[in-house]
Structure formats: C-alpha cells, structure tokens
Amino acid sequence: MAEPMRQQVERYILSLQDEIVSGFEALDPNAPPFKRDSWVRPQGGSGQSCVFALPPSEDGAEAASQTILEKAGVNISIVHGTLPPAAIKQMRADHTSMPLPENPEGGLPFFAAGLSLVVHPRNPNAPTIHANYRYFEITEPASEAGTEEPKLLAWWFGGGSDLTPSYLFEEDAQHFHETLKTTCDAHGIGLFPAFKKWCDEYFYIPHRSESRGIGGIFFDDLNAGSHVRLQDSDKRPRTPEEIFVLIQALGNAFLPSYLPILSRRHSLPYTPLQRRWQLIRRGRYVEFNLVVDRGTKFGLMTPGARIESILMSLPEVARWEYMTDLGGEGTEEGKLMEVLRTPRNWHTV
C-alpha cells in the first residue's frame, strides 16, 4: 500500500528544512547557528522553527555584527484540526476545489503541512528572499464508531519563491528566474509563464502601486482538476504523486537559485544611505505582509495560531519616511522602482 501523501510531504519538508538551514550555516560558519525551536499545537499538530537573529544590545540599539544574515527563519508546520467558518470563507475565495460544509457552523476537518522561509541579509546589496511549499487536505469527519477513515474531500499543493532586492543587479534577477524556469519546464512548459505572472500579480502592494519585489513564481490549488490559470490541454502534473515530484524539484532548487546571489553580494561595501534605503524597502515588505498577504490573514484566523511563527517573516528593523526623497529617476534606487512599477521577464533560457 502506498504511503499516504501527508506522510510523504512531512518527511520531505523535514529533510528540506535541515538542508536549507545547513546551507546557510555553512556559508557563514563564524555566525551563531540557527535557533531550533520545536513546538506542539494544542489543537493538533506540531512544527519546528529554525530562526537566525542576533540578540539586541543592552541599550536596544542594533547589534554591530559582520554576520551575513540579519534575520532569517526556515519554519515547518504539520497541523490538523477544524477550520472555523471565518477561515473557510477566506479560503473558498481562493480555492475553487474547496467544498462547502453541510453544517457551516461546524467547520471542516483539515490537515496542512508546509515549509515557509524568509531570509533578510544584512548587506543592502543582497536581496531578501521568501519561499514556501505546502500541502493541504480537507476531509469529512470520521464516523462516531471510529472504524472508518475520514473521506478525503479535497486536496491541493501550493508554493512559490520570490526575490525582494533593495538594489537591482540584473544578473542576479536572471539567475534566479532562469533556475526556476528550468525547474518548472521539466514538468510542463506552461507552468513557469503562468506561475511568474501569478507571482507578479500576487506580490503587489495596491496602496503603493508597486510590487513587493522582482518576482519569481507563485502557485496554489494544484490538484487533479482544471485550473483557472493553466490550460487543460497543456502537459502538466495532475496526480498527487506527479505534483509532489514538482514540489520536491522546486524545493531542491531553492539553494541553487539563491545562495550564489547571496555569496557574491554579502561582502560588498555599502553606505549609510544604502542602509537607509534598505530599511525603507523593508517597510514596504511589512506593509504587504500585514495588509495584503492572504497567508498571514489565514494564519491569524486559524485556532491555536502560533503568532511568533506567523510574524517571523517580518524584518527585525524597518523604516518609514514621510515623503522620502529616495527612489527618484536616474538614481540606483530609482532603477529598482522602475521594475517594481513595471514587472519584467528576466529569464533568457
């Protein structure tokens, strides 16, 4: 008998978390190791957060350090329980395969497993990166006698990876997008164009009329049925096993897509002005995550939400300036703003 998909996903994200954390620790062996924090969810499930952050100084000032990373988190969660009506309403807006419960007030049993990471480097020339890979199931309640397995009503995979620089290096953007495109193309040539467009649309800050970063891929609701963003005639993964192979390929591509960029940027010299601009861009990152991101909203609606893990993605330090003078045309900061207002296709393969 085949191993249940939820167990396969659990085993994979545990191994991927260890691989990614080990990759960052090897890049900066003199830095403190990631803090590993295992936790149990009283409503069902568990997880492990692997977080990098230096303790603040006694007077609350920023820590003076030469570490490559300023803050980072590589977190996994494997949880189950019952979705309340508010969470069901939030999810049905984005997942066409999600069923309506016969008794809306009773909620729906669910299982969710995923890895989510955010890395904020110290150097303004090195980009922030975000990625996640997740699996979700909706089931019927088990019988009162407890002799039947819960019936699977719906399942889907989701995920993505996107780059958020403070300064634009075109070769970095090209390397990142080409790595993702090559990985996607091995599973269907229609995947990357759809996922790239979805990413540009999703990571957008409406009240600023600008993107959060320079894109990457974003996808959700991948299952055996039709998909609103993919052509039915296109070759693509459809079974749980096929889609899981795609998820693993993208997870395995994370370090090759990002570590070469971080390796060549983390030691570049930078000025106080560049640090100031980095903190302004991180302010935009905060605005997106707290105001726009549906994952944050869903997490906060879920019973037993672990707030520390949900808000781990926020940078340690950010800045908001009233009518800032940075980012004007003809400046290095302005070059970034041009592509945040008009997304580009970066791949050449």
Of 19, 324, 347, 40, the closest CA to residue 183 belongs to 347
Let me know the angle formed at the C-alpha of 63 by 61 and 67, rounded to the nearest 5 degrees. Answer: 160
pLDDT at 144: 45
Per-residue pLDDT band for 256 (boundaries 50, 70, 90) equals very high
- Closest to 216 in 3D by CA, of 259, 254, 166, 264: 254
pLDDT per residue as tens digits for the range 267-322: 999 999 999 999 999 999 999 999 988 878 777 766 666 788 788 889 999 999 99
Q: What is the largest CA-CA distance in the chain?
A: 71
Instruction: Name the band, by pLDDT with cuts 50, 70 and 90, for residue 62.
Output: low
Q: Across the strands, what pairs with 48?
A: 38, 76
pLDDT at position 145 is: 41
Mean pLDDT of 216-243: 91
Angle 125-248-262 (CA atoms, 0-180°, nearest 5)?
A: 10
Q: Is the per-residue pLDDT at 91 higher than 90?
A: no
The closest alpha carbon to 91, from 167, 156, 175, belongs to 156
Alpha helices in 4-76 (DSSP H): 5-27
What is the per-residue pLDDT for 312?
Answer: 83
Average pLDDT, the chain: 88
Per the model's pLDDT, the better-predicted residue between 183 and 153 turns out to be 183
Contact 161, 129 (CB under 8 A): yes
Give the per-residue pLDDT at 329.
Answer: 93
Distances in Å between the alpha carbon of 286 and those of 147, 159, 212? 47, 20, 10
pLDDT of 188 higher than 90: yes
Q: pLDDT at position 42, please?
A: 81
Pairwise CA distance, residues 16 & 22, whole Å: 10
The pLDDT of residue 324:
94
pLDDT digits (tens, 9 = 90+) for 139-155: 876 654 454 667 888 88
> Would you please indicate which residues are annotated as catalytic (active-site) residues?
130
Q: What is the pTM of this model?
A: 0.91
